[in-house]
Amino acid sequence: MGTLGRQARMILTPLTLAEIPTALSAFEAGLGDAGLADVVLARRALQRIGATLAHVRRDDIALSTDADHHEQAVCLLGRFGLTALDQPPGAGLTWDGRAVAVAMEPSVIIHEVAHYQLAAPARRHLADFGMGAGPESGSKDAADRVCRLSGTARDLEEALVSLLGILWEAELEQPAILAFLEQNWLEGGASRHNCAHFIKIVTHLGGHGFIDEQARPTLRLRHSDDETFYRAFMP
């Protein structure tokens, strides 16, 4: 729920485009008391994502392959000083520590930007951010050899990265709702657990400055090490 994980990406329970508005309305209602600060921010994030349904240009829910979206994603890499490598990640690594392989969907490129923002400084220039091989990477052994994050901390970072990347798509007026579905944020519907998870991740992004009070992404990079960062997040 709410993460690409270190495995192949897939929607567990697909929705049709016609079903999405009802699912989003139920999810928003499930977030709870609109007067609470964390719920207010979560609602703003969800509304930003939901509004991008207007940018879906096809009749299916596959990720965009639009050339303009791809160009925007590569430009976003440049805003962070990152290099684009014109090859598919299957030819090597998604992130080799210096460049992102960009022969893939714009949404996945943007997801890598969010990984760069949220990686600990010591992992930021390791293959696939020291989290083990990404689902698209071909050189899986090379990435797995430098894996430095696992377990609950890795799952939490993947969720943070997932939602930050989706909010970047919304900021760029790309169909972020498709990545929201693909990364299974609506899996489990408007259950208490699912809504609480969403609020938790939005709150962490906001509390550490990765999104502002309007749930818009910032250019912030993480500066703390994993022990410090995740100790503050654990119950």
User: 134 near 155, Cβ under 8 Å?
Assistant: no
Reported pTM: 0.94
Per-residue pLDDT of the chain (235 residues; tens, 9 = 90+): 444 443 445 666 778 888 999 999 999 999 998 778 999 999 999 999 999 999 997 777 889 999 999 999 999 999 999 999 999 999 999 999 999 999 999 999 999 999 999 999 999 999 999 999 989 999 999 999 999 999 999 999 999 999 999 999 999 999 999 999 999 999 888 899 999 999 999 999 999 999 999 999 999 999 999 999 998 777 6
Distances (CA, A) of 214 to 81, 183, 188, 231, 233: 25, 22, 26, 26, 22
